């Protein structure tokens, strides 16, 4: 029986090290995989995260929190337990957390994806004894096409709109998808404008030393700029007075859910791009096989189906709860 990490009432707990990973109730020491709100919760006494997440945690939780940053790959010792952070490829600052002692090696992956972006470190394949994986898109139907192809689709949609002076609004979560779209589209097509909430996150990142492309808030742009622009706004601002002010605009949604038939129509948007910050079915399987783990713990998403699948493939897997389900958690990273 593994003993280094337990699945306790407050979350993943390392008793020997005296710390939790992404706990959902206030604890003394919390190691955080990334800054999305279902992983980085308020109320902990001490936070430890990857260096690029420090400013995001302060911005989203409180400027007064006690938070320490750790660069990728550096091993530290906490009460006799080795801990290191490794790229998860999900959003800026997202990490898999490796926890080990002389007996066991654990990797808690948080959220992850295998596609390589221009602006963040690529996912690192890890070997371990015990692997904790998400399964947001853990069904065979979720199969992303090549990312370059999807980016080309976005570019040509934007280019076509821009050439007839039609503003292009693309829906993308403020933390994660927004930066991914901004940093990976073809910059020469036109100006990139942002919603205030995207701009706020970008400013936090830039102030903490992360290089991002120059963008402008929509409210600061001229009519001519708006007509040629790619406008990045969070899903919550779609179909609002904010988008209504932009005349004659085209709308698109960038999400893994666009992979499902009818999803675009249900959202009422003209265009859907399959672009997810999570691993698809082949990606989950590839990452898990690489670990050669003797046991895989499955959380977040299609847990039961995915666990069954892994067991049928001869991989010892079990569904675990790593999220308090008694409250409403916003679905900001659910795509």
Tell me which stretch binds Zn ion (CB under 5 A): 13-21, 111-119, 134-142, 177-185: 111-119
What is Dmax (Cα atoms) for the chain?
65
Residue 333 sits in the site that holds Zn ion (CB under 5 A)? yes
| Residue closer to Zn ion (CB basis): 39 or 249 | 39
With beta carbons less than 8 A apart as the criterion, state whether 64 and 46 touch: no
Residue 36 sits in the site that holds Zn ion (CB under 5 A)? yes
With beta carbons less than 8 A apart as the criterion, state whether 210 and 91 touch: no
- Binding-site size, Zn ion (CB under 5 A): 3
Residue 111 sits in the site that holds Zn ion (CB under 5 A)? yes
Residue 299 CB, shortest distance to Zn ion, in Å, is: 12
Residue 9 CB, shortest distance to Zn ion, in Å, is: 22
Residue 277 CB, shortest distance to Zn ion, in Å, is: 7
Residue 334 sits in the site that holds Zn ion (CB under 5 A)? no
Tell me which stretch binds Zn ion (CB under 5 A): 36-44, 66-74, 157-165, 312-320: 36-44
Sign of dihedral through CA atoms 60, 61, 62, 65?
Answer: negative
Please name the residues in contact with 239: beta carbons below 8 A apart, sequence gap of 6 or more: 268
| Residue closer to Zn ion (CB basis): 111 or 121 | 111
**How far is residue 123 CA from its own chain's centroid?**
12
β-strands 130-135, 295-301: how paired?
parallel
Residue 195 sits in the site that holds Zn ion (CB under 5 A)? no
Return the structure tokens found at 233: 């706004």
β-strands 95-100, 81-87: how paired?
antiparallel
| Residue closer to Zn ion (CB basis): 208 or 333 | 333
Residue 179 sits in the site that holds Zn ion (CB under 5 A)? no
The residue number whose beta carbon is nearest to Zn ion equals 333
Tell me which stretch binds Zn ion (CB under 5 A): 32-40, 78-86, 198-206, 218-226: 32-40
Return the structure tokens found at 204: 């936090």
Q: What is the DSSP string of 243-275?
A: HHTSTT-EEEEE-GGGGSTTHHHHHT-SEEE--
CA end-to-end span of the chain: 34
Tell me which stretch binds Zn ion (CB under 5 A): 40-48, 81-89, 109-117, 243-251: 109-117
| Residue closer to Zn ion (CB basis): 33 or 227 | 33
Q: For 47, phi and psi rounded to 5 degrees?
A: -115, 145
Which residues lie near Zn ion (CB under 5 A)?
Answer: 36, 111, 333
């Amino acid at each position: 029986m593994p003993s280094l990490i337990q699945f306790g009432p407050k979350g993943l707990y390392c008793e020997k090290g005296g710390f939790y990973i992404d706990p959902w109730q206030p604890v003394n020491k919390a190691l955080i995989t990334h800054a999305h709100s279902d992983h980085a919760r308020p109320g902990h006494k001490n936070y430890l995260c990857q260096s690029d997440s420090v400013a995001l945690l302060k911005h989203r939780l409180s400027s007064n929190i006690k938070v320490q940053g750790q660069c990728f790959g550096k091993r530290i010792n906490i009460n006799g337990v080795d801990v290191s952070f490794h790229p998860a490829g999900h959003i800026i600052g997202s990490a898999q957390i490796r926890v080990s002692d002389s007996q066991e090696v654990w990797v808690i992956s948080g959220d992850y994806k295998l596609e390589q972006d221009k602006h963040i470190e690529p996912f690192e394949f890890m070997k371990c004894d015990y692997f904790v994986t998400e399964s947001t898109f853990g069904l065979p139907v979720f199969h992303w096409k090549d990312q370059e192809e999807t980016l080309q689709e976005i570019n040509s949609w934007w280019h076509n709109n821009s050439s007839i002076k039609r503003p292009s609004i693309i829906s993308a979560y403020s933390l994660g998808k927004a930066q991914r779209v901004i940093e990976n589209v073809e910059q020469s097509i036109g100006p990139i404008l942002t919603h205030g909430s995207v701009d706020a996150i970008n400013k936090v990142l830039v102030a903490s030393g992360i290089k991002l492309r120059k963008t402008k808030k929509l409210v600061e742009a001229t009519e001519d700029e708006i007509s040629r622009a790619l406008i990045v706004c969070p899903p919550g601002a779609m179909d609002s007075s904010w988008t209504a002010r932009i005349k004659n605009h085209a709308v698109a949604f960038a999400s893994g859910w666009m992979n499902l038939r009818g999803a675009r129509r249900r959202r009422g948007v003209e265009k859907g791009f399959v672009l997810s910050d999570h691993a698809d079915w082949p990606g989950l399987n590839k990452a898990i096989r690489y670990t050669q783990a003797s046991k895989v713990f499955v959380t977040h998403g299609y847990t039961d189906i995915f666990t069954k699948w892994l067991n049928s493939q001869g991989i010892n897997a079990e569904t675990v709860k790593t999220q308090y389900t008694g409250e409403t958690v916003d679905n900001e990273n659910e795509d």
